[in-house]
Chain A
Amino acid sequence: MSSEPGGQGLASTGRVSRLGDLDYAPAPESAAIVSIADAYGLYIDGHFTDPERHESFATLNPATAAPLARVARASAADVDAAVQAARRALPAWSALPGAERAKYLFRISRIIQERQRELAVLETLDNGKPIRETRDVDIPLAAGHFFYYAGWADKLAFAGFGPDPRPRGVAGQIIPWNFPLLMAAWKLAPALAAGNTCVLKPAETTPLSALALADILEQAELPAGVVNIVTGDGATGADLVDHPGIDKLAFTGSTEVGRQIQRRLAARGLPLTLELGGKGANIVFDDAPLDEAIEGIIDGIFFNQGHVCCAGSRLLVHEGVADEVLRRLRRRVDQLRVGDPLDKNTDVGAINSAAQLARIGELVAAGEAEGATRYTSACPLPAAGYWFAPTVFTDVAPAHRIAREEIFGPVLAVMTFRTPEEAVAKANDTTYGLACGVWSEKGSRTLWVAQRLRAGVVWANAYNRFDPASPFGGVRESGFGREGGRHGLEAYLDV
């Protein structure tokens, strides 16, 4: 047995230098594939229009902090125009045979597929997430959602909501910045399939892919007014929430804003879907498939820089394997490649905004101040833009802020447990309830745990998997209503 590499003279004498420690040469995707305009208007009634007050704001590339474009800031009057356009488009769209609506959605899905490289680059530029994720996750799933719901459009009577389900009407939809195009697809596809018309409000920091989607809707020749896209900040979103002309509101974002929206809409009894924050627990038992569990932990918290509402931001690991898991986890964290989001070998990209970076920094400082032990990857970070190195906290107490508050960044809080009961109790020790992971080779225990977790999604021996056919959404303060699957239709049908 060789005692060291090349022992017993096994290495050939024509010795070749090692590949090195993952010393990959830069492999950037070309940004030239996408053309970004200097300025964008609002997409209302099938046209790009200037906002009423001619106000605009810059959207940045978070990897460089350089501006990408100026985007219109919609006023209350602009939102009103969008809602009116959606209202005018509603009768014809909802009266269209489902099979015809389906064909529009199939078209949209196809065009997204055909333009997937361009959309992936655009999303990466505007959001900061790695091109590998936009290319392999965001854009294919966005196309998949349109394809999935296209198939429902002419089968609504079979969806289990009565023999003749009707659309709600005009849907107001507010989406977050973490999966911009995918969230637009999650909102638009079921709404359109069910015969609603939409006013979509993209996130302030990531409007570009939704505006590219407007172009795709044009290409698909979707009738004017069926989808209207109003860019802006929180005030624009509030104008949409308060608009008396909407029949439905769907919001994805923070629990705090979700609470405000529910309060604002309380008097109207308006149908509401809220997909809010989370503090997901990844539970690793001592019989877990450890190598895959380590990857699941990594995927759970570092996928999309941890900007994931269902992120596995708490690791609950059985005491018997805690040391082993942590040792492997640190090694794996050190391997993560942080940097240029356009590089195909980048694992962790840029934090989406300066504000989010500040929030992460504040909570990490709180973690240290409260006595948790911090481990941060020594990976080099780019000088410009917004960056945070992958971080793991151990010695975390359940009462620490980093164990309770959603950080929405690449920061993991590790705690241990001794029994399945304790694992469930600790996992449920949160006001949130979006997602959890369970890692074990023992099926009966996995299902026992899954039955007791208060979470809308439970991944067993996996984490952060998404599919158009799979309902997604939370319990308790992670919100209500489901997106995806048959369940996702309910939000947009008057049932």
Chain B
Amino acid sequence: MIAASGPGTAVVEIPSGSRVPQVASEAQLRTVLAGLSGVDAVGVAARAAKLATRSLKRETKRRALDLAIAMVDLTTLEGADTPGHVAALCAKARRPDAEDPTCPPVAALCVYPDLVATARAHLAGSAVRVASVATAFPAGRASLPVKLADVAEARAAGADEIDMVIDRGAFLSGRLGQVFEEIVAVKEACGPAALKVILETGELGTYDNVRRASWLAMLAGADFIKTSTGKVAVSATPPVALVMLEAVRDFAESTGQVVGVKLAGGIRSAKEALRYLVLASETAGSTWLEPGTLRFGASSLLTDLLLQRRSQRTGAYARREHVSVE
């Protein structure tokens, strides 16, 4: 934890045995982040566009679709969410394709803290995990105690995973120690629950910031770094995903710690999801190609994945009504 207040004096305790760089002060954190290689915006977009031309056919495509389904954090984060709606999504999460038991379940159901208990109850006995957004989602504009209370409530209700948001205002105004401190505190509050840190890349402005925020979150203990809340205009994009995948790859190389990536917001088609799988595979490597290290935060994406999966098996374009509506 950052013990002392004020820039340049904070001290962080890192669990022993880790090769994660010791971040002893905000000044040191700043130095570490400033030492990261810059990102050329044109080059990263060009690389992402080139990888988008990969063509997945036959068995590769079938496996990729199953993998993508298994990576979905099926998400509902609406003001109109109800226990009934969440219950219906739980059924979908456990068995996405009612007509095909070979279809894998999704990775998790992602809800607001007040619906965690409902989800927990309806997912009992399944492998599907319960994820909850917390820390004053989506803006993150609350005091640290309020954020921690939010986390505690979700944990108490049975959440396996916590999706927190960083304080983008603090990050953009250079209060990196504060952002770091909040993540460390939330991580502690998570206990055994996995922590996904939402960078809200659409508000960070530059790829350089995406890279720095990724490293900051990983240094502070994130289990996943996540692109977006889905609540701002720009969510996950292939170049942003590329930068984050490079970050987890490089972090694993330098620390031995494998951090996952969650791509969220605006991913609606199976085609997009498969492109992200290609990005992950060719950037971070096949190690990341499983639900433990790669997730899609989405709602309507699952429908298209299921339709495409069905088409792959029947050889014909699928009727929309083969996929249930929740």
- A and B, direct touch (CB closer than 8 Å): yes
In this assembly, does A20 line the interface, its C-beta being within 8 Å of a C-beta of chain B? yes
Q: Which residues on A sit within 8 Å (CB–CB) of B70? A: 12, 14, 16
Q: Which of A1-60 contact B (CB under 8 A)?
A: 1-8, 10-27
Q: Which of B20-70 contact A (CB under 8 A)?
A: 20, 37-40, 42-44, 46-47, 53-61, 63-64, 66-67, 70
Q: How far, in Å, is A390 (CB) from chain B's closest CB?
A: 15
| Contact present for A1 and B257 (CB under 8 Å) | yes
Give bound CA distance, A296 to B43, whole Å. Answer: 8
Q: Which of B277-298 contact A (CB under 8 A)?
A: 277, 281-282, 285-293
In this assembly, does B107 line the interface, its C-beta being within 8 Å of a C-beta of chain A? yes
Interface centre among A11, A344, A462 (most CB of B within 10 A): A11
Q: Which residues on B sit within 8 Å (CB–CB) of A344? A: 53-55
| Contact present for A20 and B44 (CB under 8 Å) | no
Give bound CA distance, A9 to B38, whole Å. Answer: 35
Q: Which residues on A sit within 8 Å (CB–CB) of B37? A: 288-291
In this assembly, does B230 line the interface, its C-beta being within 8 Å of a C-beta of chain A? no
In this assembly, does A187 line the interface, its C-beta being within 8 Å of a C-beta of chain B? no
Give bound CA distance, A296 to B281, whole Å. Answer: 20
| Contact present for B47 and A16 (CB under 8 Å) | no
User: With A1-B257, A27-B57 known to touch, is A295 a contact of B47 (CB < 8 Å)?
Assistant: yes
| Contact present for A7 and B292 (CB under 8 Å) | yes
**Which of A8, A14, A345, A462 interacts with B55 by CB under 8 Å?**
A345
| Contact present for A292 and B286 (CB under 8 Å) | no
Chain B minimum-CB-distance residue to A442: B38
User: With A24-B54, A136-B53 known to touch, is A19 a contact of B223 (CB < 8 Å)?
Assistant: no
Q: How far, in Å, is B128 (CB) from chain A's closest CB?
A: 7
Q: Which residues on B sit within 8 Å (CB–CB) of A1? A: 18, 20, 221-223, 257, 259
In this assembly, does B192 line the interface, its C-beta being within 8 Å of a C-beta of chain A? yes
Q: Which residues on B sit within 8 Å (CB–CB) of A20? A: 63, 286, 289
Give bound CA distance, A4 to B256, whole Å. Answer: 9
Give bound CA distance, A2 to B58, whole Å. Answer: 33
Q: Which residues on A sit within 8 Å (CB–CB) of B260? A: 2, 10
In this assembly, does B258 line the interface, its C-beta being within 8 Å of a C-beta of chain A? yes
| Contact present for A5 and B293 (CB under 8 Å) | yes
| Contact present for B64 and A19 (CB under 8 Å) | yes
User: With A12-B127, A25-B57 known to touch, is A291 a contact of B291 (CB < 8 Å)?
Assistant: no
**Which of A10, A18, A462 interacts with B43 by CB under 8 Å?**
A462
| Contact present for A12 and B291 (CB under 8 Å) | yes
Q: Which residues on B sit within 8 Å (CB–CB) of A21? A: 281, 285-286
Q: Which residues on B sit within 8 Å (CB–CB) of A242? A: none
| Contact present for A16 and B104 (CB under 8 Å) | yes
Interface centre among A18, A132, A335 (most CB of B within 10 A): A18
Q: How far, in Å, is B313 (CB) from chain A's closest CB?
A: 16
In this assembly, does A94 line the interface, its C-beta being within 8 Å of a C-beta of chain B? no
In this assembly, does A154 line the interface, its C-beta being within 8 Å of a C-beta of chain B? no
Q: Which residues on B sit within 8 Å (CB–CB) of A5? A: 258, 287-288, 290, 292-293
Chain A minimum-CB-distance residue to B62: A25
Q: How far, in Å, is B112 (CB) from chain A's closest CB?
A: 21
Q: How far, in Å, is A151 (CB) from chain B's closest CB?
A: 26
| Contact present for A2 and B194 (CB under 8 Å) | yes
| Contact present for A295 and B56 (CB under 8 Å) | no
In this assembly, does A405 line the interface, its C-beta being within 8 Å of a C-beta of chain B? no
| Contact present for B291 and A10 (CB under 8 Å) | yes
In this assembly, does B265 line the interface, its C-beta being within 8 Å of a C-beta of chain A? no
| Contact present for A12 and B107 (CB under 8 Å) | yes
| Contact present for B290 and A15 (CB under 8 Å) | yes
In this assembly, does B168 line the interface, its C-beta being within 8 Å of a C-beta of chain A? no
Give bound CA distance, A7 to B288, whole Å. Answer: 12
Q: Which residues on B sit within 8 Å (CB–CB) of A422? A: none
Chain A minimum-CB-distance residue to B128: A12
| Contact present for A292 and B127 (CB under 8 Å) | no
**Which of A3, A26, A287, A292 interacts with B258 by CB under 8 Å?**
A3
| Contact present for B56 and A11 (CB under 8 Å) | no
Q: Which residues on B sit within 8 Å (CB–CB) of A80? A: none
In this assembly, does A461 line the interface, its C-beta being within 8 Å of a C-beta of chain B? yes
Give bound CA distance, A115 to B157, whole Å. Answer: 61
Q: Which residues on A sit within 8 Å (CB–CB) of B57? A: 24-27
Give bound CA distance, A12 to B194, whole Å. Answer: 13
In this assembly, does A233 line the interface, its C-beta being within 8 Å of a C-beta of chain B? no
| Contact present for B286 and A19 (CB under 8 Å) | yes
In this assembly, does A441 line the interface, its C-beta being within 8 Å of a C-beta of chain B? yes
Mask: chain B, 93-112; 1 = CB below 8 Å from A; 0 = not: 00000000000111100000
Chain B minimum-CB-distance residue to A20: B286
Q: Which residues on A sit within 8 Å (CB–CB) of B221? A: 1
Chain A minimum-CB-distance residue to B294: A5
Interface centre among B37, B221, B286 (most CB of A within 10 A): B37
Chain B minimum-CB-distance residue to A286: B37
| Contact present for B56 and A25 (CB under 8 Å) | yes
**Which of B40, B59, B223 interacts with A289 by CB under 8 Å?**
B40
In this assembly, does B92 line the interface, its C-beta being within 8 Å of a C-beta of chain A? no
| Contact present for A18 and B39 (CB under 8 Å) | no
| Contact present for A292 and B43 (CB under 8 Å) | yes
| Contact present for B288 and A14 (CB under 8 Å) | no
Q: Which of B241-274 contact A (CB under 8 A)?
A: 246, 256-260
Q: Which residues on A sit within 8 Å (CB–CB) of B226? A: none
Q: How far, in Å, is B236 (CB) from chain A's closest CB?
A: 18
Q: Which residues on A sit within 8 Å (CB–CB) of B222? A: 1
In this assembly, does B129 line the interface, its C-beta being within 8 Å of a C-beta of chain A? yes
- Can you report 17 residue pairs joining A to B where beta carbons are below 8 Å apart? A3-B256, A10-B161, A10-B194, A10-B223, A12-B106, A14-B127, A16-B290, A17-B63, A19-B64, A21-B281, A24-B57, A25-B56, A288-B37, A292-B39, A292-B40, A296-B43, A461-B40
Residues of chain B whose beta carbon lies under 8 Å from any beta carbon of chain A: 18, 20, 37-40, 42-44, 46-47, 53-61, 63-64, 66-67, 70, 104-107, 127-129, 161, 192, 194, 221-223, 246, 256-260, 277, 281-282, 285-293
Q: Which 10 A-B pairs have the closest CB atoms?
A: A292-B43, A6-B292, A13-B127, A27-B55, A11-B292, A289-B40, A10-B292, A344-B55, A290-B37, A292-B40
